Amino acid sequence: MRLRDIFGLALTNLLNRRLRSWLTILGIVVGVAAVVSIISIGEGLQQSITTQFSRLGTDTLTITPGYTGTASRGFRGGQGGTAGVRSGNLTVNDAKIIKTVPEVEYVNGMITGSVELSYLDETAKIDLQGVDSRVWKFMITTELAEGRYLTPGDSYVAVIGSRVARSLFKQDVEVGRLLIIGGQTFRVVGVLKESTSRWEGYYVFVPRETTRDLVTDVEEDLYTSISVKASKNANMSEVSSRIEQKLLVNHQVSEDEKDFTIWLPQALQERLQEVTQTLKVFLGAIATVSLLVGGIGIANTMFMSVMEQTRQIGILKALGATNGEVMTLFLIESSLMGIVGGIFGVFVGFIASGSVSMLGVQIFFRQVTTTTISPELVVFALIFSLVIGMISGVAPARRAAQLQPVEALRYE
């Protein structure tokens, strides 16, 4: 028999039992769609994390008071420390010392606190961030939608995040409008563009000196965090290490008594990507199980097909069909179910992935609005479904090939 004739006969056999064939194919469709959609969501999450941290800048780091001894690697101070949580403070003197570190270009001591914000007849709680007006505009990575950044000499003026301007109140807050922050009147001089960082959109930025009058739980010579921007092409790990040594000496503590944490965005990004990659592999493995279940369904269908076509197999062998040709016939049948299920599964996966992009999914406090289906993923899904179909058909095909013509013709 020619291969074309075998293929035509296999297709005819599948069409003769349409319902059972489509129910079997459905198992493969579900498995492939699950694999494609889950991996695409994982890729979208990683892309979202990369975009987020690229906006923070690869040349910046943040220092916060206190230290957790069990901090994950990737944060300076996360290695070699003893377990436990230690409190600490960041002082004005710390910021001055950090400025003496080579390759440090800007240092921004910040004061952050939750205050009450009133606009027209509405009131809301917001996060207020007092920044150094002299350097802040050189360190922030979010561009302005309108207005200007804070400048030296500013006092009761504010730059607001996009969500404060557009979502927090019924009426949009525009440049030039007045806000009541902590009982004091501020004029809006700038509005930031929409950012991938949800928290930044809800911040209100004001001059640091003004903030001390509003956030009363931060002492006069303390900061809630210090942001550092290094010079171009600086080695951030080395800069971080030098800052750490300076602060250890200034705080008069040893490595094991550290009372501050240095956060490197790049290291944190790598750590989060490791976590999302592990999650993607884990969920992908679960989805693959459903694909294997679909393969078992193909095997079951093919065994039933061998039983139902026993007489037909006997006739084919009596007419001269070889064991190899009979085996090829059933392998083609199972492969067709696998590849058809793969094609429809990829299509359904595209729909599921597109729905995630349109609706957004909250994972790890991140809104995933971008999913990525690469050509490699599509090819992998199709090849894998084809292989599952072929493997599922091997045992039934061998059983069909081993039937004796005389016994097969006598089968009722």
Q: Is residue 90 part of a domain?
A: no
Same domain, yes or no, for 208 and 311? no
- Answer yes or no: is pLDDT of 34 > 60: yes
Last residue of a domain, one of 233, 259, 285: 233
Q: What is the pLDDT of residue 70?
A: 46
pLDDT band at 15 (very low <50, low <70, confident <90, very high): confident
Does residue 227 sit in the same domain as residue 343? no
| CA dist 408 → 5, 308, 317, 334 (Å) | 21, 11, 9, 21
Pair (274, 361) in one structural domain: yes
Domain co-membership, 333 together with 207: no
Q: Which has the higher per-residue pLDDT, 373 or 96?
A: 96
pLDDT at 57: 58
Using CA atoms, how far apart are residues 94 and 25, in angstroms rounded to an integer?
66
Q: How many domains does the chain have?
A: 2
Pair 198, 67: CB distance under 8 Å: no
The β-bridge partners of 118 are 123, 180
295 vs 147 pLDDT, higher one: 147
- Please report whether residue 188 resides in a domain: yes
Per-residue pLDDT reduced to its tens digit, 309-337? 666 767 776 777 777 787 888 788 888 88
Q: In terms of domains, do 287 and 220 share one?
A: no
* Distance between CA atoms of residues 311 and 318, nearest Å: 10
Claim to verify: residue 142 and residue 37 sit in the same structural domain: no
- Of 204, 233, 262, the residue at which a domain comes to its end is 233
Residues 118, 209: one domain? yes
User: Which residues constitute the domain of residue 384?
Assistant: 3-53+270-409
Where among 233, 260, 283 does a domain terminate?
A: 233
Question: Could you tell me if residue 193 is inside a domain?
Answer: yes
Place of tokens 């095997």: 299
pLDDT in tens, 150-195: 999 898 999 999 989 998 899 999 999 999 999 999 999 999 988 6
Q: How many CB atoms lie within 10 A of CB 187?
A: 13
103 occurs within a structural domain? no
pLDDT at 188: 96
Report yes or no: 336 and 389 within 8 Å, Cβ to Cβ.
yes
Beta bridge partners of 146: 191
